[in-house]
Amino acid sequence: MLSIFGTIDNPTKYPSTGGSGFFVFLSNLLKFAGVVGGIILIVQLIMSGYGYLSAGGDPKKIEAAWTKIWQSLVGILIISSAMIVTGVIGRFIGIDILNPKIIGPQP
């Protein structure tokens, strides 16, 4: 009888190399954080640049805009440092955490 859900192949029959599930998860998490951080950086820089241009000489608004710009740049520095440290640690332990290789079913 044909099941309405179809069949599910056993995933353990496909070989996996280059790390375990945790390293793949960590890699995806770091890449996602980097992308989100980059998007937030661009939005914050645009908004703070607009705030700086529309300050009209008001020192409080100019200072607030510069504060946002510096906070954005420090944030992207922290995100970049995390990626670099993760890559260095991956090299020392012999696992490429940022780019794990998984071999799955071949077409």
Region of poorest pLDDT, from 10-14, 43-47, 67-71, 72-76: 10-14
What does the pLDDT read at residue 47? 92
Global pTM exceeds 0.95: no
Q: Distances from the Cα of 57 to the Cαs of 44, 62, 63, 64, 104, in angstroms?
A: 21, 7, 10, 12, 60
Distance CA 52, CA 82 (A): 30
Give me the chain's average pLDDT, please: 78
Q: How many CA atoms lie within 13 A of 25 on its CB side?
A: 3
In sequence order, the 6+-apart residues with CB closer than 8 A to the CB of 40 are: 72, 75
Question: What residue segments make up the domains of the chain, in order of their start?
Answer: 34-99
pLDDT tens for 1-19 read 566 777 766 666 655 555 5
What does the pLDDT read at residue 50? 92
